Amino acid sequence: MQTDYLFHGVRGFERFAYYCYGYDMASKEAERRYKIVFFYEKYGLDATLEAFEISKRTVYRYRSLFKKGGIRALEPKSKAPKHPRESAVAKEIVEEIRRLRGEYPNIGKAKLYHILKPWCKENNLDMISESTIGRIIAKDKDKMRITPLRIDRNGKAKPKKRKFKKRKPKNLKSKPMHLWAVDTIQKVSNGIRRYIMTLVDPHSRIAFAVALPSKHSKHTAKVLEALIDGLTGNIEVNLSHREFSILSDNGSEFMKEFEQLLQNKGLTHYWTYPRSPKMNAHNERFNRTLQEQFIDFYEDLLFTDIDLFNEYLADWLIKYNTIIPHHSLNMKSPVQYLVENHSECHMLWTNTST
């Protein structure tokens, strides 16, 4: 509180402050211990031992501490040892590990173990285990990690910053039409590349797709913006509470403009781990269906007339979402499943006025 700074150093203020708001500043454990002491004073020892399942010695210790210093004396103390053990590993080995991690950037403990073994024998040092090498690296202030440098356009060397992405949590659950798994399909013909962006709702299996001339994030951002505008116009999606989220891999098409759009709208972007396509399994399965049932028959059109390709694709998607039954939905179409099981979505699938 501000009063601590105004009257700090004034004789008697600390005791006065304790009696005024000391209990409110106590931790939960101190409050629990205070309740034990209060219960003991009111109901006796036998009732206290039965109610809190603690020893008689502990009750007396809490009571003694409370009488000496009040509730603050009941705060749990640090359990760290007063004289911590020092590592028995020779400093020469630690420095050699650091040198090797610099010569072979970020080499693992298993490989370090086999490199160190002959070196320790030559220098008459006791060899340490593989797990000990791992602990030495983990305890180091910078983890003995070498960060590569990058040259910017001005010719200055700057360390590459590690970016921490929000990964998809385990057993992620969401409302229908609130989580969309996105991915891209790449097709190549005569050196020309075309991309198809796909979006799937894992809950209802409703899917959308559109062909793009390139995988630049400006194109994927436009598709995402069209999806968000369409959903907010037809479905009760509470964007203000950030319930709408996107799941994607780590491709460049889902960065820059795509990521900026999500940040501007305050939406959540989940990323899969590298080389983990199973984290986006629903989208991968839809990509296979799209490939086998549509792309294989219209692939030439994708490179000659992309607008016409998208028109045919839109017709196929309407049938996919409204007519074709899905095994995962008990042989119902995605729209039929959504209407029968989640009528609260107020879906206006055939209303094109908006």
What three-state secondary structure class fits 78?
coil
Report the predicted TM-score, pTM, of the whole model to 2 decimal places.
0.57
β-pair partners for 271: 167, 248
Residues 318, 349: Cα–Cα separation, whole Å = 10
Which domains occur in the chain, in start order? 2-74 (no CATH), 88-162 (no CATH), 179-345 (3.30.420.10)
Which has the closest alpha carbon to 287: 182, 162, 216, 170? 182
β-pair partners for 270: 247
pLDDT value for 8: 55
Residues 125, 95: Cα–Cα separation, whole Å = 13
CB atoms within 10 A of CB 32: 13
| 57, burial (CB in 10 Å: exposed 0-12, middle 13-18, buried 19+) | exposed
The label of the residue with tokens 């320790």 reads 120
pLDDT value for 313: 96
Contacts of 95 (CB under 8 A, 6+ apart): none
Give yes or no for a contact between 326 and 285, defined as CB atoms under 8 angstroms apart: no
Query: pLDDT tens track of the chain, all 354 residues?
Result: 444 445 555 666 555 555 555 445 678 899 999 999 999 999 999 999 999 999 999 999 999 999 988 888 899 988 888 888 888 899 999 999 999 998 998 899 999 999 999 999 999 999 999 999 999 999 998 888 877 777 877 888 777 776 778 898 888 888 888 899 999 999 999 999 999 999 999 989 999 999 999 999 999 999 999 998 887 765 444 554 456 899 999 999 999 999 999 999 889 999 999 889 999 999 999 999 999 999 999 999 999 999 999 999 999 999 999 999 999 899 999 999 988 887 555 444 444 444
Report which residue type is found at 190. N
Residues 184, 198: Cα–Cα separation, whole Å = 6
In order of 165, 220, 239, 258, 283, the CA distances from 199 in angstroms are 20, 11, 18, 14, 7
Give yes or no for a contact between 63 and 37, defined as CB atoms under 8 angstroms apart: yes
pLDDT value for 183: 96
Report which residue type is found at 43. Y
pLDDT value for 3: 43
